[in-house]
Amino acid sequence: MPPRTVVIGVDSSTQSTKAALVDAGTGRLLAVGRAPHVVTGEAGARESDPEVWWQALCDAVAAGLKESGVAASAVTGIAVAGQQHGLVVLDRTGRPLRPAMLWNDTRSAPQAAALTAALGGAEAWTARTGSVPVASLTATKWRWLRENEPENAAAAAALRLPHDFLTERLAGSAVTDPGDASGTGWYSTATGAYDPELLELLGLDVALLPEVAETGATRIGSLTAEAAGALGLPAGIAVAAGTGDNMSAAVGLGLGRAGLLDHPVLSLGTSGTVFAASRTRPASTALSGFAAADGTYLPLACTLNCTLAVDKVAALLGLERDDAAPGGEAVLLPYLDGERTPDLPAASGLLTGLRHDTTPQQLLGAAYEGAVFTVLRALDELLRACGLDPADPEVAARPLRLIGGGAQGRTWVETVRRLSGRPVIVPGSGELVALGAAALAAAAATGEDPVTVATGWNMGEDTQLPAIQRDSETWERVGSTLERAAGPLLGRA
């Protein structure tokens, strides 16, 4: 019997790093090492020190090796999936010039609007990049940096996305992948390359950017001796190009082999995202038309406020996460960090409909309802943009795949079921981003297709929950509140 080989998939998210050690032959999850991150900022700012990400990666790998009991010599490959859109600015030694601006940093909203106008409007951006600039996109953060910190912009020797920064530390090679690159605002999904006209508009020298690999599974180098020493792994193992977190989750789910929108996915984490696989390039101003990690496409819509926002409401009320009840007449839009979908970067939370008999549990339930309504509304926009009618009974009957931390929460799952009226599937594995990255690592080590690798792995039994009657009354109440409030009450003239 050949010796067991192990691959490591890294999920470097907003709040923490997870390193999944996976049996490359069976997909069995052997261990998950974890290490926290630190996010700072107020008044729209959200930043992290990239060096903390690197230390967290080292700590998470060490914890995973210890927990699994796997010999380091069994590891044959590693790949990083990271939070999208963040701007990492490096000096000539490869060290950060300043903290990274994260995807949920909303300070660049004015720059997003200016860039949209400068190219001729939303349709012009969608035709090139697949996405309209919002404060989340990396291009808007670069424009903000040039306008507000010109000394740091002038001193920049390299710009990286979060996963690029970590991959470069692993392999010593400055390489990204089409999936994560498609969320920058300077990569064209129409041409599969950086867009020279957009780079000129942004005042950005292409020499500052990493090369773009063919896919996230492309082997872009080997683990350097320095990185191997820091991680306790063998030098020379395969390093994949890696990708963004949503693209990696899609690999873990095997979505590259699914038909268009047959398996819409809701990811409930710090942000709420909805996405599905497509073999044709989407181009709609209503969504982000990202590339996928395997050469297909990943139409996606993202909300800023999801599990963290609801956890904040629970903390304010002194309640546990699942100590919630349906909101009744209360409506709580938990837009604590502004909002991306709908595009309300200056938004704040809004509570209305209070009565004498409103309970704390109902207020927490209303926060869940507000967050779930927002992400399901984004799903409806995605379906329409792809030519499907959300009200069509056949479309409405398609099950939702629920992933992310929220998928493990009883109240999250039940609120999604109640407001969607759809069947819900919770995949057997709760670490799909890390497992997708592990599949990319295995593919880089062997040359196989990463989605084929992932679909061949046994990741556990899915939980399938039948549809229940949709709570149309709550849906209409939250929707009408949002429509009334989308102007001055949420900071938008």
Query: What number is the average pLDDT over the span 216-221?
Result: 97
| CA distances, 32 to each of 38, 74, 167, 376 (Å) | 20, 16, 19, 30
**What are the domain boundaries of the chain?**
6-246
492 pLDDT band, cuts 50/70/90, is very low
Residue 210 confidence (pLDDT) above 60? yes
Confidence category of residue 2, pLDDT binned at 50, 70, 90: low
- State the pLDDT at residue 491: 47
Place of tokens 């261990």: 31
Predicted confidence at residue 256, as pLDDT, reads 64
Query: What pLDDT digit, counting tens, does each position of 146-188 carry?
Result: 999 999 999 999 999 999 999 999 999 999 999 999 999 999 9
Query: Does the pLDDT at position 260 exceed 50?
Result: no
Mean pLDDT, the chain, rounded, equals 93
Is CATH 3.30.450.20 what the domain over 6-246 is classified as, yes or no?
no
Q: What is the pLDDT of residue 118?
A: 97
Q: What percent of the chain is modeled with pLDDT above 70?
A: 97
Q: Is the pLDDT of residue 140 over 70?
A: yes
User: For residues 219 and 233, what is the distance between their CA atoms, to the nearest angstrom?
Assistant: 17
Catalytic residue list: 245
Top-confidence residue, 472 or 386: 472
Distance CA 182, CA 176 (A): 10
Kind of pairing, strands 243-244 and 75-82? parallel
pLDDT per position as a tens digit, 421-440? 999 999 988 799 999 999 99
Q: Give residue-wise pLDDT tens across range 65-83.
A: 999 999 999 999 999 999 9
Residue 220 has pLDDT above 90, yes or no: yes
Residue 493 confidence (pLDDT) above 70: no
Give the CA count within 13 Å in the CB-facing half-sphere of 241. Answer: 25
More confident residue, 304 or 466: 466
For the cut 80, the answer to whether the pLDDT of residue 486 exceeds it is: no
- Whether residue 261 is predicted with pLDDT greater than 60 in this model: the reply is no
DSSP 394-435: HHHTSPEEEESGGGG-HHHHHHHHHHH-S-EEE-S-S-HHHH
Q: Indicate if the pLDDT at residue 258 is higher than 60.
A: no
User: Which tens digits make up the pLDDT trace of 19-63?
Assistant: 999 999 999 999 999 999 999 999 899 999 999 999 999 999 999
